[in-house]
Amino acid sequence: MPNPRFCPPAMPEIKLPQLADAAQGCSTDHQAAPSPADDPANTAGTGPSVYLETFGCQMNVLDSQLVVSQLRGLGYRFTDDWKAADVVLYNTCSVREQAENKVWSRVGVVGRHKQQHPGVVLGVIGCMAERDGTDMTRKYPQIDLLCGPGELDKVPLLIDNAFKTKTFSGRPPGDLPTDDDLQTVALQGNTHRRSSTLSAASDKLELIDLSRSFTAADTDLPGETTPGAGKSAYVRITRGCNKLCTYCVVPNTRGAEVHRHPDHIVDECKKLADHGVIEVTLLGQTVNHYHYDHSAAIKADGVWQPQVGTVISPNKGTGGPSPSFNDTTTSFADLLHRIHEEVPAIQRLRFVTSLPRDFGDDILQVIADSPRICRYLHLPVQSGSNRVLAKMNRGYRVEQYKELLTRARDIIPGVTLATDIIVGFPSETDEDYERTAELLRFARYKNSFIFKYSPRPGTAAYDRLPDDVPDEVKRFRNNDLLAIQAQASTEIHAEYVGQTVDVFVEGVSSKTRKGLIDSEETTQLSGRTGGDLITFFDGDPSLIGQIVKVKVEQALPLALSGTLI
């Protein structure tokens, strides 16, 4: 039973780990909810119980892990049963309307539950909170707290205040605490687009990244996105986005691009490796734009501060090196090289997502020269039509994009490629669509994430371009592209039959989990090759979190299948 009279624990200072310099990630709409309750350490606390469900990209999964880490440190427990929770939190995604609709429906259900259990705290955190702001609480008064992705360090305080608000409601005005004491909303609003380097100073979010827990409890969240028994982890390198693609809500919800100090990133990788992590995925909206200018670096309270990203457009997709940075700048290629050289225990280094524009040969070369950097690139193209790309404000033409794919294949033999495509963007004609289909046949991606255009309030496309492609046309184009992709994927997979591949074992396969495999003797496991090809094979679950050799015997449209050797 939720406990409305619970007195929440006092807020301790966030403690920074000892660092040398410090006196320190869309593929699906819904990620398997990080279920901290699966860890006995989480359920054993004495504080209120929390149900946390995560929607959206890898960045949201990492955000949830960091929230879990903060709350656990304060004694909160986690439960998989939202009805038994004192605090229900939804970490949300605004990229497409569908993702938001799922959350609205959850909020409605919890609202009805709260009529019987008024002590329960319902919080919406992440991108929806930032996008909808306090309109959300006016429409859905059952929501007790809102916290944007740029304010997640405040979640414990907001929960604390939400409990207090309930405790104080009904008391005479003289007894009531001040507004500050009862703050239950933390949003960046429009303050996050200030452009100076100093505006990133005293960046509280950096403290959350620095204070992350490295124990398996926080890195081994079950589900597709944080797989491998705590041996796989996300590390943020940039936050926010400066690209202003006309369809995309991310710059509104996550603010301007901010880059973390490379020492903090390398240190985090080292600590993860010390705790047994062997696969790290570097996260950012536009990871290839990562750069940190050491000549402009500043410290606050002994901690190197992140830097607001300057606009870089150095090679305009024509190859050559990345931005003509000065000697004092760590570029994305430099960062990859540093992690590869300084943290050899990380056997697989990945990164998502890249903007195809400004993808320099220096990055491709580092990947080619570094055996532990995965030969896999996720390069969202969005459309094969130059007319549509211009309307999307993507900053490249399809010819430049194709040339990047060719450079990548020349410089990194065996590289696998994936992409994101939006169909039915405003004014997309049959001819525009045909250009996209042509590109898909040319590119031979190992897989594509294909989305129907979803108009998002607050974006330039929403304001200026009518959503004029009928839904049945969007659906047809979506299915047509999926069929083209399925053929390409099957052909690519067929090239692996007979080969032995290294597979990082992520977990038991979903078929096994759902009881669809009729055998008591074998367990079907699922993992990925360095090139991100999903691979199924039978094996003992003790292999989860290890890299094993699998002989490929069968090519499926979405995966490889083989035998452990």
Q: What residues make contact with ligand SAM under the rule CB under 6 A?
A: 26, 57, 95-96, 245, 247-248, 250, 285-286, 353, 355, 380, 382, 420, 422, 451, 453-454, 456
Q: Which residues are registered as beta bridge partners of 552?
A: 562
**Nearest alpha-carbon partner for 1 in 84, 76, 118:** 84
CB of 551 to ligand SAM, least distance (A): 34
CB of 355 to ligand SAM, least distance (A): 5
Give the number of other CB atoms < 10 A from CB of residue 333.
22
Distance of CA 509 to the CA centre of its chain: 22
Nearer to ligand SAM, 76 or 451 (CB): 451
CA distance 31 to 38: 16
Length of the chain: 565
Nearer to ligand SAM, 332 or 537 (CB): 332
Residue type, 297: A
List alpha helices for 4-154, DSSP H. Answer: 40-43, 58-73, 97-116, 127-132, 135-139
CB of 245 to ligand SAM, least distance (A): 6
Give the number of other CB atoms < 10 A from CB of residue 320.
12
Nearer to ligand SAM, 57 or 155 (CB): 57
**Nearest alpha-carbon partner for 11 in 40, 44, 47:** 47
Nearer to ligand SAM, 95 or 505 (CB): 95
CB of 86 to ligand SAM, least distance (A): 31
CB of 308 to ligand SAM, least distance (A): 17
Nearer to ligand SAM, 56 or 156 (CB): 56
Asked if 28 contacts 308 with a C-beta cutoff of 8 angstroms, the reply is no
CB of 235 to ligand SAM, least distance (A): 17
CA distance 164 to 141: 17
CB of 422 to ligand SAM, least distance (A): 5
Q: What is the DSSP code string of 311-346?
A: P--SSTTS-SSSS---TTEEEHHHHHHHHHHH-TT-
CB of 56 to ligand SAM, least distance (A): 7
CB of 433 to ligand SAM, least distance (A): 15
156 vs 33, 160, 253, CA distance in Å?
A: 19, 6, 20
CB of 467 to ligand SAM, least distance (A): 10
Nearer to ligand SAM, 203 or 257 (CB): 257
Q: How far apart are the first and last CA of the chain?
A: 50
CA angle (214 as vertex; 208, 219 as ends), nearest 5 = 95
359 vs 171, 242, 262, 400, 457, CA distance in Å?
A: 60, 16, 19, 11, 30
Nearer to ligand SAM, 58 or 347 (CB): 58
CA distance 223 to 51: 16
Nearer to ligand SAM, 95 or 552 (CB): 95
Nearer to ligand SAM, 57 or 158 (CB): 57
Provide CB contacts within 8 A for 565, sequence distance 6+: 500, 549, 550, 551
CB of 287 to ligand SAM, least distance (A): 9
* Kind and range of the H or E run holding 502: strand 500-508
Nearer to ligand SAM, 72 or 456 (CB): 456
Nearer to ligand SAM, 107 or 355 (CB): 355
Provide CB contacts within 8 A for 60, sequence distance 6+: 31, 54, 91, 92, 93, 126, 127, 149
- Closest residue to ligand SAM, based on beta-carbon distance: 26
HSE-CB of 388 using CA atoms within 13 angstroms:
25
